Structure 1
């Protein structure tokens, strides 16, 4: 919506006040042939829709088939490689695979524990539990989680204080708003 049109005294009903806005290069409609970009594809017949749908479905099917084929080829190469290993190499490979899975599970447990701990700490400190979303990238790093917690909570409290101060300053200009300082001291001390 062109708000400048209203500021300059243009026609609020959508006219352009003779300025030529909305006109094409020849002074006529901007798109005389109706080739305007549309958010959805329009089909003239059901057959046209069906052919488009079938081609889109075929493309998705081909992509899925290619992904499955690539996965199968990778697994078959790994199986051939595994079969060519000596018994000691097989044992080491199996151990490494188990260790990798164990490390991944341990990481998942650490993230879940840190999420639960931060959620509890936010609730204990009287802060919104929804702030836990701000910590999502830091859950894997237990060592720096406490520092991150302090930084985020201090930033939240400062932003909240500024918002309250601004709202109180604006409300003090309203007739009959009462004593803004008393309300501020109540909010800050809680």
Structure 2
């Protein structure tokens, strides 16, 4: 579960570094100089972001009782994944950008790149139109946000909650009653065993 959550954190650092390096390459710098300048410019931000994310996970390590046992491995896995991501984005990613990116590779576009670029442009244009509508109707936007908050509070009140949710654990229980109140032996008696 921690690795699934860490996916967003892991790729985020490298994406920021690659974007900064490719920006310098588009300005006309050589790939090696762009990699050094781009990684150096964004390095402190990635380091501070990494330590702040790990600091958020530290309280999970010191939780006691069963909650601590459940979340200790989660916190360690997530912290290690974030730390490795920062190291890779500050070492391996700039090196690969210096070797693999160039102005020609950024300019070259195949059919798939052109089609995806057009699709992204349409998505950005639709987002801009939607954002303009939302900003032009602030009272409607505020009322939708407040009604969503109210509905969330109502759901929180009425939906059953618990540390472990009620679930089917695959156990079947049966109750058997006999008309005769005399106890029925479950196991054969010693006499019956000795006769066989």
TM-score after normalising by structure 2: 0.23
Tell me which structure has the larger Cα radius of gyration: 1
Relative to its length, the structure with more helix (as a share) is: 2
Question: Which protein has greater RCO, CA pairs closer than 8 Å, 6+ apart?
Answer: 2
